[in-house]
Structure 1
Amino acid sequence: MGHIKLNQITKSFGDVEVIPPLDLTIENGEFAVFVGPSGCGKSTLLRLIAGLEDVSSGHIEIDGRDVTDVPPAKRGLAMVFQSYALYPHMSVRKNIAFPLHMAGMDQAEQQRRVERAASVLNLTDYLDRRPGQLSGGQRQRVAIGRAIVREPAAFLFDEPLSNLDAALRHGMRMEIGELHQSLSTTMIYVTHDQVEAMTMADKIVVLRAGVIEQVGSPLDLYREPRNLFVAGFIGSPTMNLIEGDEARKHGAHTIGIRPEHIVPGDPDGAPWSGTVGLSEHLGSDTFLHVHGTGLTESITVRADGEVPLRHGDRVGLTPNAERIHRFDQAGLRIA
């Protein structure tokens, strides 16, 4: 199980309300990602679910049981933090088994759970090593293993990959995704990185100033962002946003077009044109930053990796008309 429901949850620190009344349901077995800029309330919301912060008002239910006033250890949840928090003098085996040892579980069951978690996380060959003998990615796996052995109703991850370099982050994203598939357990994952959110989530919860701006699958948010905030936050590179005469042609205050939905070509006869500024060559893709279009300061275009355009070249831009997003003066999506 692992059905989590938040009913009109609020959180205030003194006179400052950081989470206004909020409703959210996370279904059993879902991989939900809380994403948003720093200070948006995503970690606070996770800590409220975990019981590490007291709610100011409202109710939290786990599998139909009201746990609003239940202490963290009795909520049936397991949390993985940004810090590994491993005991350096203990072996990997003892680190993973530690919560079971503290709970007084018999040795045979401890061993069974530790060996199962080690097998799932490819740590079997490292059980007798100490944390200092492991890489950063392996230490994070040990921390996850310590959560797995508790067999929780749900896993809570608070930016667990922030301390890893880019290559390790990519590898651990894949491992956590595979772990979710193998365990079929509810997971809630907090990150400020929308790429992590898009690649890992079944459900994304976009937060701003403690308010849920949109909830949906990665493709839902990519295809139909509810407002300008979500449009500008989801997608890499971010959506181009254009106001003025060009937006009014489409019956909107603002229009948006993603870099991958603009085709570069001959400037003669193209709807838009400008001058290539910075070209970011990434192998399979090239990101062109085009200036002087008269639309906005810069238009970003995602082009083929071998596009023969360089700094100072004139280029025509043809947007895919079916992929233009329209927003009203309040910043809300126009259907």
Structure 2
Amino acid sequence: MGQITLSSVTKVFGDVTVIPPLDLTINDGEFVVFVGPSGCGKSTLLRLIAGLEDTSSGKILIDGQDATDAAPAKRGLAMVFQSYALYPHMSVRKNIAFPLKMAGASVEEQNRKVENAARILNLSSYLERRPGQLSGGQRQRVAIGRAIVREPAAFLFDEPLSNLDAALRVTMRQEISELHQNLKTTMIYVTHDQVEAMTMADKIVVLNAGRIEQVGSPLELYRNPQNLFVAGFIGSPKMNFITGAEAAKHDCATLGVRPEHLDVVEGGPWQGVVGIAEHLGSDTFLRVHVEGIGDLTVRVSGEMGLHHGDRVSLAPQAGKLYRFDANGKAIA
């Protein structure tokens, strides 16, 4: 079991409130991603759950038991950090077995659990190597293996892929998602990358200045953002925001439209000139300067041969406009 409940949890450093009173329930077996810009409090929140930071007030329950003041080792959680924190002089086998050795497990138990973790992570043929002989992705898998052998109630990942190159991040993202499907264990994952959040999570928690802006599945947040912050953070490329006279026509302070919900058509309501065209193969991203509105990002087929200086006519897809009031709240 791995249900985690935060009840009015706060964190204050001196005179600065980093986490205002916050309530959140993470259900057993969920893959939950904390996402938000740098400094939003997502890593601090993870450290509070892990017990690496003390809460200023509120309660943390793990499987219904009050763990607010429990030591990290007593919480039944395993954390995987951005840095691999492996012992360079030890083999992969000994690195993975280290927490078991510290807990006094027998050699037989250590070997059984290490070999099971290695099989899950495709590390069986690397057990006698040292970390210096491994790639970045393999080292991260060793760090995850060290967490697996503890058989925790939940795994906590603090931006574990930040040190990897783009291609390897995609591979490791898939491997961690597959690991969750195999283990069925609660996972909490911190990232500033909304693409990671969208592709991995069962549930996303969007944080801003320590506050939860919205909680929901990736598609819920994409389709029904509750405010301007979530609308602008979820989705890549980000949503276009339009203010002024055009927004007023739609009875709102800000009008939002995603790049993929704009079509290049004949006789559309918005006329403009292509400034930049980024051709990515399957997609092309256009930066279009629209008269009376400003710059809009448009996502079109990679086969569309538009270039700098071309005049285009744009039309938003039916039912795909988002309206926000003067306070940035979504208008139903």
- The DSSP-based 3-state class of the residue aligned with 2:319 is helix
Partner of 1:299: 296
1:9-51 per-position Cα deviation (integer Å, ceiling 9, x unaligned):
0000011111000000000000000000000000000000000
Corresponding residue of 1:138: 138
Distance of 2:66 and 2:19 partners within structure 1: 20
Letter in 2 for 1:275: V
* Cα distance in structure 1, aligned partners of 2:162 and 2:200: 15
**1:244 aligns to what?**
244
| 1:279 aligned residue | 277
Percent identity over the alignment? 75
Choose 315-324 or 54-63, whichever is displaced more.
315-324
Name the residue aligned to 1:121. Answer: 121
Residue 18 of structure 1 corresponds to which residue in structure 2?
A: 18
Per-residue CA deviations over 1:99-141 (Å, capped at 9, x if unaligned) read 0000000111111110110000000000000000000000000
Q: 2:306 aligns with which of 309, 312, 316?
A: 309
Alpha-carbon distance between aligned partners in 1 of 2:265 and 2:286, rounded to the nearest angstrom: 12
- Secondary structure (helix, strand or coil) at the match of 2:221 reads helix
**Letter aligned with residue 284 of structure 2:** T
Indicate the RMSD between aligned Cα atoms, in angstroms: 0.6
- The 2-side partners of 1:106 and 1:293 are apart by 73
The aligned residue for residue 189 of structure 1 is 189
Q: 1:324 maps to what in 2?
A: 321
CA distance in 1, matches of 2:37, 2:7: 24
Q: Is the 8 A contact 2:268 2:315 kept in 1?
A: yes
Work out whether 1:85 is the aligned partner of 2:85.
yes
Distance 2:269 2:291 in 1: 10
Shift of 1:251: 1.4
**Aligned counterpart, 2:76:** 76
Distance of 1:132 and 1:321 partners within structure 2: 55
- How far apart are 1:292 and its partner, in Å? 3.5
- CA–CA separation in structure 1 for the residues paired with 2:9 and 2:51: 13
Q: Distance in 1 between matches of 2:13 and 2:139?
A: 34
Find the counterpart in structure 1 of residue 59 from structure 2.
Answer: 59
Runs of 4+ in 1 over 4 A off after TM superposition: none
Figure out how many residues of one structure are paired with residues of the other and give that number: 332
Which TM-score applies when normalising by structure 1? 0.98
Report what 1:168 is aligned to.
168
The unaligned stretches of length 5 or more in structure 1 are none
State the one-letter code of the partner of 1:328.
Answer: D
Aligned residues of 2:270 and 2:290 also touching (Cα < 8 A): no
Question: Is 2:290–2:296's contact at 8 Å kept on the other side of the alignment?
Answer: no
Are 2:78 and 2:150, in contact at CA under 8 Å, matched by a contact in 1?
Answer: yes
Partner Cα distance (2:89, 2:291) in 1 = 61
Q: Tell me which amino acid in the other structure corresponds to 1:70.
A: A
Measured after TM superposition, the shift of residue 245 of structure 1 is 1.5
Question: What 5-or-longer segments of structure 2 have no aligned partner?
Answer: none
Q: Secondary structure at the match of 1:160?
A: coil
Q: Which residue of 1 aligns with 2:9?
A: 9
C-alpha separation in 2, matches of 1:102 and 1:308 = 62
Q: Hey, what's the Cα distance between the residues in 1 that align with 2:66 and 2:312?
A: 60
Match of 1:202, as an amino acid? D
CA distance in 2, matches of 1:18, 1:104: 38
Give 1:321 shift. Answer: 2.7
Per-residue deviation, 1:248: 1.4
Output the CA distance in 1 between the equivalents of 2:158 and 2:324.
33
Q: What residue identity is the alignment partner of 1:81?
A: F
SS in 1 for 2:275: strand
The AA in structure 2 aligned to 1:150 is R
Aligned residue identity for 1:229: F
- How much does 1:291 deviate? 1.0
Task: Please tell me whether residue 230 in structure 1 is matched to residue 227 in structure 2.
Answer: no
Distance 1:284 1:120 in 2: 34
TM-score with structure 2 length normalisation? Answer: 0.99
Query: Which deviations, in whole Å up to 9, do the C-alpha atoms of 1:197-255 show, x marking residues without a partner?
Result: 00000000000000000000000000000000000000000000011121112111111
- Is 1:217 the counterpart of 2:214? The answer is no
Q: Which amino acid is the alignment partner of residue 287 of structure 1?
A: F
More off after superposition, 257-266 vs 165-174: 257-266
